[in-house]
Amino acid sequence: MKKIHLMLSLKVLIALSVTSSFVAKADVYVDLSQTDEINIANISNEQNYTFKIEEPSSPNTATNVATLNKVGSEDNKKLPFNNEVIIAANITGIEPALIHAVIAVESKHNPRAQSIKGAYGLMQLMPETSRRFNVLDKNNPKQNILAGAKYLRELLKIFNGDLKLSLAAYNAGPAAVQKFGGKIPPYKETVNYVPKVLKYYKQYS
């Protein structure tokens, strides 16, 4: 599989703070014309793009997943890094239960987990993804979780809120999902990954 090229040129500065849920509005343009790669940009005059994703004004409208539970369940409060998960959930609009589920499968809550492919941290971010979402310290759980949640939100937009396809893309890459006609790629790891995350998601919801 060719390397996925993600290019992001900023037209606005995005200010994120743990004490504020304000996010600058920035539309995203996605080019799916090539089967082996996916290009993402937010340049307003971009000509070669397949479709446009409009950034919602409020994080609460960011995904088509279940209604947000910003404080999390009582049981989830006992999970590792729950405070960091809640911060990421409030900023991105991704359910805390879903973020916890991804962490459980990706790293088993180990902030120093590292894959042979170079993915790192609680949400197993690849170096390119970390750079794109401004992770300055790969050992920082808050930054890792927030970047992973932002990436998941982006995938949910790309795949129209389809959670299974978005999780498959999180594991195998969005180009792999497109390569197989918008279906879960028939890779053993990905085929096993999606139901594992969904199982934890149900457990934490």
With b meaning 16 or more CB within 10 Å and e meaning fewer, what string describes 172-185? bbbbbbbbbeeebb
Q: Which residues are catalytic?
A: 106
Do the beta carbons of residue 63 and residue 36 sit within 8 Å?
A: no
**How far is 205 from 202, CA to CA, in rounded Å?**
5
Q: Where are the alpha helices (DSSP H) in 133-187?
A: 141-158, 163-172, 174-179
- Exposure string of 122-133, with b = 16+ CB inside 10 Å and e = fewer, is bbbbbeebbebb
What's 17's DSSP letter?
A: B
